[in-house]
Amino acid sequence: MRIAQVSPLFESVPPKLYGGTERIVSYLTEELVKQGHEVTLFASGDSETKAKLIAPCNKALRLDSESMDPLAHHFTLMEMVQREVDNFDIIHFHIDYLHFPLSRRMLIPHVSTLHGRLDMPDLIPLYKEYKEIPVVSISDFQRKPLSEANWIETVYHGLPSNLYKGSYGEGKYLAFLGRFSPEKRPERAIQLAIDAGIPIKLAAKVDTKDHEYFETVIKPMLNHPLVEYVGEVSEKEKQEFLENAIALVFLIDWPEPFGLVMIESIACGTPVIAWRNGSVPEVIEDGVSGRIVESMEEALCSIEDVKKLDRAKVRACFDKRFSAERMAIDYLEVYDQLIKTKSMSNINFVYKNV
């Protein structure tokens, strides 16, 4: 199949540092190439891929100090895609709704994965307007605020199977991995460790917007003897950080549309203690790959539960449901379905006009 993947330009594909969307675009692209498809990747020029790369800008925009208006490059991106449409059987967009005015008028099949949270009232009139545009959700939960959209499938994210390896030793500490931001609730994670009398290690970055929250809420908690802040960890260090943990602590307080870190953890065989919120019940199998909790008391009890879980079975949950291979197969089914629908509607169009 001739497939175009259209990535945002904020980070390279894969990203040098953070960037959830661009990471997934990379995993999907490389897996589709591996499965023998002819893939064209539209992404920033510093991306690395086995697909054919078409780049509307040389550098990822978030790291380009000269860039003041990143939106502008996404407009040139869209026109570059438009010029190439005849070379594709399907176009897969990952750039939110930016391409809707163009893709609505395209004659070839296209699909858009929505990567972010969708509970903004501004989006309701938008998706009412573009109600025919086929969109894929990254969890069933993500769809809830937007019944107006033309949802055709939920495709969970996946990671390459060899990115992390299952490791089945005994955990030594609780792990927090992510950003120090109020909605991730690192203070819940720290409190849990202190209450349980178990060490916690926190691998996290502080965004500028969360600086005050970090200084006032988190920093004072880091002095406790059970608490260790290890700074940011690289992709490589993540394996060691996660595999030696009793559990990943994910006591979030926001409508998480997916939560990549949960599947990173189970890929290492490390169970997750997760607050019931957003996509959590879809990603974590309660009692198999972790525990889903709704209070600090439940979280405290769950520590003994997760210690008893079979870490090989935790990894098996990853292999079955969250590999990049499975993700690619799911998307190929979506592509097939859209190509068939489009060709049927083209046949109907010809019949009607004869």
Residues in touch with a copy of itself (CB under 8 A): 56-57, 66-70, 72-73, 75-76, 78-79, 97, 100-102, 105, 120-123, 125-126, 129-130
Q: How far is the CB of 65 from a copy of itself (least distance, A)?
A: 11
C-beta of 52 vs 117, nearer to a copy of itself: 117
Minimum Å distance from CB 129 to a copy of itself?
5
Report the DSSP pairing between strands 90-93 and 200-205.
Answer: unpaired
Q: Which is nearer to a copy of itself, 113 or 289 (CB)?
A: 113
**251, 299 contact by CB (below 8 A):** yes
Q: Give the shortest CB-98-to-a copy of itself separation in angstroms.
A: 9
Between 72 and 301, CB nearer to a copy of itself = 72
> Quick one: 100 or 322, whose CB is closer to a copy of itself?
100
User: By C-alpha distance, which of 33, 63, 64, 37 is closest to 48?
Assistant: 33
Q: Shortest Cβ distance from residue 99 to a copy of itself (Å)?
A: 8
- Measured from the CB atom, the residue of 126 and 329 that comes closer to a copy of itself is 126
Q: Which of 78, 303 has the CB closer to a copy of itself?
A: 78
Closer CB to a copy of itself, residue 129 or residue 325?
A: 129
Q: Which residue type is seen at 234? A: S
Smallest separation (angstroms) from a copy of itself to the CB of 127: 9
CB atoms within 10 A of CB 343: 11
CB 124 to a copy of itself: min, Å: 9
Give min distance, CB of 97 to a copy of itself, in A. Answer: 6
In the bound state with a copy of itself, the residue whose beta carbon lies nearer, of 78 and 189, is: 78
CB of 210 to a copy of itself, least distance (A): 17
